[in-house]
Every structure is written in structure tokens, then in C-alpha cells.
Amino acid sequence: MSDTTHDGGVALGTPPSADEGLDAAQLAAKYGLTVSGARPGLIAYMRQLWGRRHFILAFSRAKLTAQYSQAKLGQLWQVVTPLLNAAVYYLIFGLILGTREGISHDVFVPFLVTGVFVFTFTQSSVMAGVRSISGNLGLVRALHFPRASLPISFSLQQLQQLLFSMIVLVAVAIIFGSYPSLSWLLVIPALILQFFFNTGLALVMARLGSKTPDLAQLMPFVMRTWMYASGVMFSIPVMLKDKPAWIADVLQYNPAAIYMDLVRFALIDGYGSENLPDHVWAVGVGWAVLLGVVGFVYFWKAEERYGRG
């Protein structure tokens, strides 16, 4: 019923509004209104990420710089930590347990150091990905930006850290008789593939960790199991030669083992193609594409839910 006013005893009726009778959804469509924080389309989301590329790079550099800012050795811990891990593994697995069976001493040390450095790249990316949303809720709630920027920047941080470690890895390879050659260039595509794999996995873990913060407490145990199953400190075919062949195949084709093998093959002269599973490069590309695409889409589908609740 329309409102009326009285002017000199004559009732004046207000004409009904053109929007009368429209529900909220129809009104929003009519005036071009959208839900605040609504998930954009996949292509639009990728464009937004590209537009934030400078933020992603700056954020990763800042995190890398701040990581050891309270330590006296500072950024040296980026190299010292995996080296100390490699030394412990060499003592326990190489000398005491004898897991270097089938691998000469000159090959085993760079074999072990390469495995530790390359696996740490994946391990750190996953652990950072789990906390990338839940550990930055203040930033997520305060600013509007594509949330995938966070796990991507953390993976990029770990890549930069690995590049520092590669200086030491190259030195270890040379000390033990593996000298620079054209095969060393294969390290570049191997690490690029691993970066895409790590980023996809970090995106998956970021979504899971945003709803289940306790996952961050469980992941160290998962990652330790994965490390022992990936041949970081032993040759999978040699150690499992008395077991059914399918067990060695499953372990060799797991992505962590694939990327370690690619870098070992590139850097270590005594680690030839006979140590690699069949079609190793194709498998490496497959893992990178699969996790990269699936992880990105999986994360994007929950974009509007991050930081809420």
C-alpha cells in the first residue's frame, strides 16, 4: 500500500517504486552488485596473481631475510642446517648401518648431500604451505588479494634458499671428483619441475591447513616417513634387491625420489643412467603438471572461505 500525505485535505499518493517486488538477488543483478570477497573465475584469478607478482617476490625475500635474523650466523644457517643433517645421516646410515652398499665412497657423500638438499626443498615447501594461511590470518583478513600468493611465495622462498645451498652442493661434488660438465645444466629443468610440484603440493596443504591447524603438528611425521621411503640416504634398487620388484618401483617413482635422481644424475659423475627408473624425465614432468594444476584449482575453489570462521 503506497504512502499518502495530506495537503489541504487532498490525499496525494506516492507512485510505487520500480524496484518494488524484487528480491535481493534480482536487485543485485539489476545494479551489477557482487558478493564482497566472492571467488573470481579461474582465468581472472590467474590474472590477479600475475598482477601481484612483485608482492609475491618481495614477500618471499622478506621472509627469507627474517628467517634467521635473530641468529648470529644469520643466512649461513640456510646452508649449515642441511649440511649438519647430511653429516648425521652419513654417520648413522653410511658408517654405522652401511646403507652405502653398492655406492663407492666418492659417490656416496655427494649422493647423500644432494638427497638431503633436494628433499629439504620439498619438505620445507610443504611445511610452509600448511601454515601459509592459518599463520597469516591477520594479513588475510586485513587485505584483499589472491590468497594463493601466500603458499606460492613460501615455495619461492624455499627455492631461493635451495639456490644458496647449491653453492655448497657444487663444492661437495667437485671435492669428490665430479667436475663441471654440460650435464650440470640439467639441474635447471629438474629444479624448475620440482618447484612446480612443490608449489602445487603447498597449495593443497594450505587449503587443508587453513581449516585444520593441527595438521601442522602431524606433517613432520608424514614428511619423515616420506624421506625414509625416498632413498635420501640409500639406493632404493640396491637396498630392496631381495624384495618384490614392485616395491622398489613404487618407491623409485614417487616424486621426491624422481627429483633427487634427476639432480644426482646431473651432478654426480659416478651416478649413471642405470640408476634411474625408465622414462624418468617424463615422470618428473607428469608429477609437476599434475600437482601444479590440481593443487592450484583445489586451492582456488575455496578462495572465498580463507580467513573466515
Tell me the pLDDT tens digit for each residue of 100-118: 776 777 888 899 889 999 9
pLDDT in tens, 76-90: 777 777 778 778 887
Per-residue pLDDT, 239: 85
Q: pLDDT category, 252, cuts 50, 70, 90? A: very high
Give the tens place of pLDDT for each residue, 165-219: 888 889 889 988 889 999 999 999 999 999 999 999 999 999 999 988 889 999 9
Residue 62 has pLDDT above 60, yes or no: yes
Pick the residue with more confidence: 113 or 17?
Answer: 113
CA distance 174 to 90: 18
Q: What would the mean pLDDT of 265-273 be, rounded to a whole number?
A: 90
Taking a C-beta distance cutoff of 8 angstroms, is the pair 235, 103 a contact? yes
CB atoms within 10 A of CB 113: 27
Inform me whether the pLDDT recorded for 1 exceeds 50.
Answer: no
Query: For the CA atoms of 210, 213, 218, 222, what is the dihedral angle to 10 degrees?
Result: 10
Above pLDDT 90, what percent of the chain? 46
Which spans in the chain are helix H? 24-31, 42-51, 53-67, 77-89, 105-131, 137-142, 149-175, 187-211, 215-228, 236-239, 245-252, 255-267, 280-300
